[in-house]
């Protein structure tokens, strides 16, 4: 249990590393630098950053596979990524032109993925299948850290960009360092499950379904979180006591409320999926929540219903991603290639950022998000359909079937 808690805290640090920066600090900086061209520059920055993140995540995953059997496992790579991420914040602060912002974000994406790639593979390595739902729930729950960090760094209008970045870096370090200090040596590597040919084919079909479903949910989520501030600047605020200049702080508070609701839900869902030895029902419900949230935000662009829609979408998408991650880790049966395989699975985190900017600019480039939100509801509905097609067997069923086949 100590490892699970330390790991969840470190994963929360990874969330803190990018959520306040990419959803609040960076959009404000871009708006200050280019003004009316903010959508174009944010789209370009997101696009290039995602390409860099995709390559680095797989590359570092492969490199960490070579050290996984060593005394410290993947931990040296996590430490290197943490140090590089802190340095990347300095690059973000120093950027003062469009080109410099794009380069700085690319450097940041390379740095933070050097930390996140081995960290994600560590869960597949050292957490047994019977606890993967729990660790997935904890990973979903600690997304609260990103919302809380956003509130902290925007708590006062007097906080400048430099202080916001320093605060973010300090929070990241405080979350990641305990895992590296207390858990200096790796735990036992979880062996591959014994499967026969039929169960292996089933595993690959299920993996393909949840990979595509996650990709669709992530495309929607990437757009939501990258353009969230701009969307809420367009909604009707009649009767509210805050003006346009306070929208960033209000969005940060809204995000914190979402993550506070999500934390207990994610842990309960993860633990219950372990107890039931099933992930599919939870994936279906969470995908349906995300779809409903997107529809509400598109149909009712007033602050209260839009906020409710965002709560539904963000909670559903985050629950889906957490439990899908637990399910996918359970399907990875080659310990020496889990860094590589998690990197390939994590393309669902980065490839959407290649798709999302163009889609967002095409459908909402003029500042009207209605058509875009309906399109995202369509994507999440396809994800929902895919997860209903999963033919799920528990890990125990697969192992027992494999043992029976070997004994015949």
pLDDT digits (tens, 9 = 90+) for 131-158: 778 888 888 788 778 878 888 887 877 7
d(CA 280, CA 274): 12
For residue 199, what are the CA distances in angstroms to 293, 325, 337, 392, 399? 36, 20, 20, 10, 9
Would the pLDDT of 334 be above 80? no
Q: Work out the average pLDDT over 347-359.
A: 76
CA 131, chain centre distance (Å): 20
Kindly report, residue by residue over 228-249, the tens digit of the pLDDT.
778 888 887 776 666 556 777 7
Predicted confidence band at 358 (pLDDT cuts at 50, 70, 90)?
Answer: confident
pTM confidence score: 0.73
Q: Work out the average pLDDT over 114-127.
A: 86
Predicted confidence band at 223 (pLDDT cuts at 50, 70, 90)?
Answer: confident
201 or 176, greater pLDDT: 176
Kindly report, residue by residue over 21-35, the tens digit of the pLDDT.
988 899 889 988 888
Q: Work out the average pLDDT over 259-281.
A: 84
Would the pLDDT of 398 be above 80? no
Calculate what percentage of the chain has a pLDDT beyond 90: 30
For residue 286, what are the CA distances in angstroms to 171, 186, 274, 317? 29, 33, 17, 6
Would the pLDDT of 395 be above 50? no
Q: Name the nearest CA neighbour of 141 among 294, 273, 321.
A: 321
Q: Which residues contact 324 (CB under 8 A, 6 or more apart)?
A: 210, 213, 214, 217, 279, 283
For residue 1, what are the CA distances in angstroms to 5, 125, 272? 6, 15, 17
d(CA 199, CA 398): 6
Q: What is the pLDDT of residue 31?
A: 86
Under CATH, which number does the domain 2-407 receive?
1.20.1250.20
Q: What is the dihedral of CA 136, 18, 39, 256, to 10 degrees?
A: 70
d(CA 402, CA 408): 10
The 8-class DSSP code of residue 332 comes to -
Sign of CA dihedral 264, 350, 47, 90: positive
Task: Tell me if 82 sits within 8 A of 10, measured CB to CB.
Answer: no
């Amino acid at each position: 249990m100590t490892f699970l808690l330390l790991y969840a805290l470190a994963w929360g640090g990874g969330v803190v590393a990018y959520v306040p920066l990419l959803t609040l600090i960076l959009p404000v900086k871009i708006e200050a630098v280019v003004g009316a061209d903010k959508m174009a520059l944010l789209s370009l920055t997101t696009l290039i950053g995602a390409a860099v993140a995709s390559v680095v995540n797989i590359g570092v995953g492969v490199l960490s596979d070579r050290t996984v059997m060593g005394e410290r496992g993947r931990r040296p790579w996590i430490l290197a990524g943490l140090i590089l991420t802190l340095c990347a914040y300095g690059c973000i602060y120093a950027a003062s032109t469009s080109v410099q912002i794009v380069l700085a974000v690319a450097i940041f994406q390379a740095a933070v993925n050097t930390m996140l790639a081995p960290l994600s593979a560590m869960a597949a390595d050292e957490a047994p299948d019977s606890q993967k739902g729990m660790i997935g729930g904890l990973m979903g729950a600690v997304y609260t850290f990103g919302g809380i960090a956003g509130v902290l760094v925007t708590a006062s209008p007097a906080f400048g960009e430099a202080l916001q970045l320093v605060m973010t870096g300090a929070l990241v370090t405080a979350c990641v360092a305990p895992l590296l200090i207390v858990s200096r040596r790796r735990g036992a590597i979880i062996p591959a499950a014994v499967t026969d040919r039929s169960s292996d084919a089933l595993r690959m079909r299920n993996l393909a379904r949840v990979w595509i479903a996650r990709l669709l949910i992530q495309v929607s989520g990437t757009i939501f979180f990258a353009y969230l501030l701009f969307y809420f600047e367009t909604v009707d605020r009649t009767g509210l006591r805050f003006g346009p200049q306070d929208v960033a702080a209000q969005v940060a508070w809204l995000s914190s409320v979402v993550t506070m609701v999500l934390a207990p839900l994610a842990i309960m869902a993860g633990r219950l999926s372990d107890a039931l030895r099933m992930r599919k029902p939870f994936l279906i419900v969470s995908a349906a929540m995300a779809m409903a949230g997107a529809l509400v935000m598109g149909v009712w662009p007033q602050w209260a219903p839009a906020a409710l829609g965002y709560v539904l979408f963000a909670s559903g998408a985050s629950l889906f991603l957490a439990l899908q991650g637990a399910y996918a880790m359970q399907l990875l049966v080659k310990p020496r290639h889990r860094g590589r395989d998690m990197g390939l699975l994590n393309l669902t985190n980065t490839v959407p950022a290649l798709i999302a900017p163009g889609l967002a600019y095409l459908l909402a480039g003029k500042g009207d998000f209605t058509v875009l939100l309906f399109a995202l509801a369509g994507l999440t509905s396809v994800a929902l359909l895919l997860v209903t097609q999963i033919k799920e067997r528990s890990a125990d069923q697969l192992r027992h079937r494999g043992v029976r086949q070997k004994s015949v």
